[in-house]
Amino acid sequence: MDRPKVCITLAGKSLQEDIDILNKYRKFVNLAELRVDCLKDEERTLVRKFPQMAKIPTILTIRRNVDGGQFSEGEANRTILFAKALAFGSDDKTKNFAYVDFEEDFRVSSLQDAAFVYGMKIIRSVHNMENPITNIKQKIENLSTSEYEIPKIAFMPHTLADVQRLFEEAQELKDSNHIVLAMGPLGLPSRILSYRLKNYLTFTSDSSPDSKISNLGHIDPETLVKTYRFNDIDENTSVYGITGWPLTATGSPAIHNKGYEVKNMNSVYIPVRAETFDEAFSFAKAIGIKGMSVTIPHKESARIKMDHTENSVKTIEACNTIVQKRDGWYGYNTDWSGFTRALIGFTGLKTLSGKNIAIIGAGGAAKAIAYAVKLLKGKACIFNRTLKRASSLAKIYGFKYASLGPESVKELRKYSDIIIQTTSKGMNCYPPKGKEFAPSTEDNDPIYFYPFKGHEIVFDIVYEPQTTPMLGRAKGVNCKTCNGQTMLDYQAYEQFELFTGASYNGTN
Ligand code: ATR
């Protein structure tokens, strides 16, 4: 089977802007798609010269509003634009567009003839920006009327189940002379695992925040090729992933995929966005995903669905790693072990025996940390805004508990050998320009009422920003401080080991 090509969709306002974007990614792409509908009016009439400027096989596309594009001027004007772009074909094929995208209902014989005469392939496309498309095999067959046409079906999935159906239906497609894909963030697996869909190509685009095509759910070509090792994916590739919702930003694919690359493993790790864990689990089974990281809010549901769970998962009531083995699915928790490794590395302590420890917060992260502190033989007090949550967590381990406010300052002082902050307060609270951290306030510092003395060891599980207002305050009086980055890294390394059986050395 032919490998899917990497195509960059160019949606700039001018041809020069498009060339600049293409040049940025040139070494990662095989084709470019010129989205004429995104160009300014005065540039649209100049597109005939674009293939010569691009020096790469190029797709000519003028996408209408109804298909998710920017072209709103009606079919007569679109036909004229196509005609201008396809006219005066050169005998030197590199000076012509290599492909032209005509929608299923756009059949203008003079334009089709022009395309055929100059050796261009027609991408015969169907888009549904609102609903999933089913019965893919039949539709692909109906669309494809000649060997010069590449049928394309793109739709917006409502749930991950729609993406799963696409993968299942694509099994029946014979060759790689088609493009089938699910758009938007849910559809990302269909772009990365194009090989599985036997696609002719996959679309990518520049990762600029003001992109007009951000709704399509593209990733940029460099990330696709370098992070996801797109050109190495084949039928033997082991697929792993991360599931969560909304899972808008995750550093895990970069960590895991680097690990595979360094060890020369034929594996890939992809984001699997799903509103429910059940959908993600069903998708994993359907496409043969061998292991997944599980993040917010699915850690509790994942625990229930596993055939086997470690004790830590049962006690913490959360599972952040699932692995398929011969006798079923296994659930693990690497949050507590990742934290343990990070804390030991940072403090140099082998045990917490004799230490009085404050755990700030009583949510999911605090549960894993309380488990770790108990195993390390620490004595702790849990401070939380909602006292009931603090008391139920404390009870499991025989810890003390207290409310989270100025009334608890004395109690906090008693447990101040090591202060571990597990709430989301301080997250995304970035420092002003030129400063290392934002000033502490009641809103961004969960223990704003507590004056650090300097003897405290302070661990904040937040990693964005690197220095939270609370950590900044602690640093100011020379406390030893650590943010959540190492915990995040270590929990991922342990997942890597559970998935592959090999140790992680992607940082070497
Ligand atoms: P996670 O799984 O990330 O720990 P969680 O289970 O929702 O998320 O827990 C969030 C923790 O942060 C809880 O301890 C929560 O306190 P409550 O139990 O009182 O809700 C704490 N938290 C969140 N926002 C907070 C705020 N503005 N002030 C104080 N505590 C806060």
Q: For residues 212 and 241, is the Cβ–Cβ distance under 8 A?
A: no
pLDDT of 508: 60
| Atom nearest to 366 CA in ligand 1 | 4
pTM of the model: 0.92
Residue ranges lining ligand 1, Cβ < 6 Å: 361-366, 384-386, 389, 404, 422-425, 446
Of 137, 47, 146, the closest CA to residue 97 belongs to 47
Task: State whether residue 230 is helix, strand or coil.
Answer: helix
- How far does the centroid of ligand 1 lie from the alpha carbon of residue 363, in Å? 6
pLDDT of 1: 75
pLDDT of 248: 82
| Atom nearest to 423 CA in ligand 1 | 12
Of 257, 205, 148, 228, the closest CA to residue 31 belongs to 205
**The one catalytic residue among 152, 198, 299, 425:** 299
Percent of the chain with pLDDT over 70: 99
| Atom nearest to 365 CA in ligand 1 | 4
**Residues of the chain with confidence (pLDDT) below 50:** none
pLDDT of 94: 87
Q: Can you spell out the DSSP letters for 352-381?
A: -TT-EEEEE--SHHHHHHHHHHHHTT-EEE
151: CB partners within 8 A, 6+ apart:
124, 125, 126, 139, 140, 143, 144, 177, 178, 179
Helix (H) or strand (E) holding 284: helix 277-287
Q: For residues 461 and 491, is the Cβ–Cβ distance under 8 A?
A: no
355 catalytic, yes or no?
Answer: no
Distance CA 406, CA 448 (A): 8
Q: For residues 438 and 464, is the Cβ–Cβ distance under 8 A?
A: no
Q: Whose CA is nearest to atom 30 of ligand 1?
A: 385
Residue 7 phi, psi (nearest 5): -115, 135
Query: Candidates 317, 339, 382, 385: which one to mutate for ligand 1, based on the most atoms within 8 Å of Cβ?
Result: 385
Q: For residues 67 and 93, is the Cβ–Cβ distance under 8 A?
A: no
pLDDT of 252: 93
Query: Candidates 381, 423, 463: which one to mutate for ligand 1, based on the most atoms within 8 Å of Cβ?
Result: 423
Q: What are the pLDDT digits (tens) for 296-352?
A: 999 999 999 999 999 999 999 999 999 999 999 999 999 999 999 999 999 999 999
